[in-house]
Structure 1
Amino acid sequence: MKKTKVVLPREHGGWAMISVPYIIGMMAAQPVLLHLPLFLAWLLLYLASYPLLQALRRGSKKRSWLKWGFGYAASAAAFLIPVVLLEPLLLGFAPVLLAFIMVHIWHVRRKAERALFNDICAILLFCTGGAAAYFLGGGRFDNGLTAVVLFNFLYFTGTVFFVKSVFRERKNRPYTYYSKIYHVVILVVPLLFGNPWLSLAYLFPLLRALKFSGTTMKPMKVGILEIVGAVQFLIVAVVIFLSV
């Protein structure tokens, strides 16, 4: 009997982007019990996106891809429905998420998933999860929500520049400079927004970019650096948001 293989996304960076903004948004407000089913719904929607997008890309095994995708989506709905019934204002995030999803689908259909604009929209999509977590925890459309979205966006956009500079754009010298300059600039942004201590969260990404951007690196080493960077960013951001 053939063993069924569980379908999971292959993009390791996605796991950080699905969880880090959400946790920061939750901790920046007030953790509540509803955060658990909302996160499970959020996670399952992410899992659903992989097979559904594979069904768009490939003609083979389309039925299997759709089966997994709709299965994950149905499970997500089971967790999401009670959350929305108790906090219906969360539905206000749906049009934003849908817009970013449509952008991604447009790029997938044209085999341009690696386009920088598509990456940025994907990051904003994940940051919206952090905004929803903040909102669910009692936050509203205020400076706290802006900070959750902005500082997560800045960090993960930096990872895009860095990863591109060591893989697809490694031989593109201007891209190496873009990566380094970007990480210098974002170090200053928290100062401008009155959150100077958050600059500490961008020190490791800056050092990583200055040392490795434009160099040849093994995927495993890049992955380890990304994990370390995401963990330190999460810890520093949570500590600072809790102290505010």
Structure 2
Amino acid sequence: MKVFIPKQHGAWAMLVIPFILGMFAGGADVKHIPLFCGWLFLYLAAFPATMMVKKKNIVYYQKWVLVYGIPAVVFLLISVWLEPRLVFLGLPLFPLFLINLYYAKRNNDRALLNDIAAILVFSAGGLASFWMGAGKLDGEALFVFIQSALFFTGSAFYVKSMIREKKNNRFKLYSWGYHVFLPFVSLAAGAEWAVIGVVPSSLRAWFFHGRKLSIKTIGISELVNACFFMAVLIVFLLQT
């Protein structure tokens, strides 16, 4: 049986990076293992669930919802048993997932609002990871969440301006405008010198637009940019 793996490569960085940042900020613990496994399988189950609402190959996608959903439930139940208050974090994420289902049903998965809803869910992984390590949520947890959401929203603007919206001058201005303010908003959210983690995002949004870059090149450069962002924030978190 061929394994069904989502092909949205950018989502993998969104899944992993906030979680890692939350783990560094809150303190790594063996309890992160079942939490990450549950988080991973939840994403793997959520993707075929969004495909099911399109009413195409329902039986096929239903099978993969079960294949991934069952271990997701098992690992998340273990995590909730270890830290029961995580339930209160999961409840606000459900409406965001409904937004994803709505856009999937309308066959408009690439809508910016849909991307932002997914980014907020992925960024909340940092909150869960921090909570599991520190046993609480505080300003540092919120910092990880906000910085992750700001960074990946910028990535969404940039990728759209380079591919699907590359001929849309209005969207280009939206992307440029966002990236003008991104370092300042990041700084206002407590980044201090770690604001340099988002500076390459602004530079590539301005200087790469209009260049003929392949989708593969754009994807690889975004991965490198995301790794740079993560490395800078890890150093910053370890010093605070």
Quick check: TM above 0.5? yes
Q: Report the secondary structure of 1:195's partner residue.
A: helix
The residue that corresponds to 1:239 in the other structure is: 235
The residue that corresponds to 2:51 in the other structure is: 54
Look up the equivalent residue of 1:84 and give its one-letter code. V
The residue that corresponds to 1:200 in the other structure is: 196
**1:111 aligned onto 2:107:** yes
The residue that corresponds to 1:75 in the other structure is: 71
Unaligned runs of 5+ in 1: none
Q: Report the secondary structure of 2:231's partner residue.
A: helix
Q: Report the secondary structure of 1:83's partner residue.
A: helix
CA–CA distance in structure 2, aligned partners of residues 43 and 197 of structure 1:
31
RMSD: 1.3
**1:15 aligned onto 2:12:** yes
Look up the equivalent residue of 1:43 and give its one-letter code. L
Distance 1:139 1:187, change over 3 A: farther
The residue that corresponds to 1:34 in the other structure is: 31
The residue that corresponds to 2:225 in the other structure is: 229
Look up the equivalent residue of 2:74 and give its one-letter code. A
**1:45 aligned onto 2:70:** no
Paired residues of 1:107 and 1:118 also in contact (CA < 8 A): yes
Identical pairs, percent: 37
CA–CA distance in structure 1, aligned partners of residues 45 and 187 of structure 2:
38
Look up the equivalent residue of 2:185 and give its one-letter code. V
More deviation in 48-57 or 157-166?
48-57
Q: Matches of residues 99-178 of structure 1 in structure 2 within 5 Å?
A: 99-138=95-134, 140-178=136-174
Q: TM-score, normalised by structure 2?
A: 0.96
Look up the equivalent residue of 1:144 and give its one-letter code. E
Q: TM-score, normalised by structure 1?
A: 0.94
Paired residues of 1:9 and 1:50 also in contact (CA < 8 A): yes
Look up the equivalent residue of 2:93 and give its one-letter code. L
Q: CA deviation at 1:16?
A: 0.3
Q: Report the secondary structure of 1:57's partner residue.
A: coil
Unaligned runs of 5+ in 2: none
Paired residues of 2:180 and 2:202 also in contact (CA < 8 A): yes
Look up the equivalent residue of 1:119 and give its one-letter code. D
Deviations 1:188-242 (A, max 9, x none): 1233234311211012111211111244321110111111011101111111011
Paired residues of 2:143 and 2:190 also in contact (CA < 8 A): no
Post-superposition, which runs of at least 4 consecutive aligned residues in structure 1 deviate over 6 A? none
CA–CA distance in structure 2, aligned partners of residues 109 and 195 of structure 1:
38
Report how many residues are paired.
240
Look up the equivalent residue of 1:241 and give its one-letter code. L
Q: Report the secondary structure of 2:53's partner residue.
A: helix
Look up the equivalent residue of 1:44 and give its one-letter code. F
Paired residues of 1:41 and 1:75 also in contact (CA < 8 A): yes
Paired residues of 2:146 and 2:189 also in contact (CA < 8 A): no
Q: CA deviation at 1:173?
A: 1.1
Q: CA deviation at 1:99?
A: 1.1
CA–CA distance in structure 2, aligned partners of residues 227 and 70 of structure 1:
30
Paired residues of 1:173 and 1:214 also in contact (CA < 8 A): no
CA–CA distance in structure 2, aligned partners of residues 109 and 175 of structure 1:
24
Q: CA deviation at 1:139?
A: 5.2
More deviation in 37-46 or 171-180?
171-180
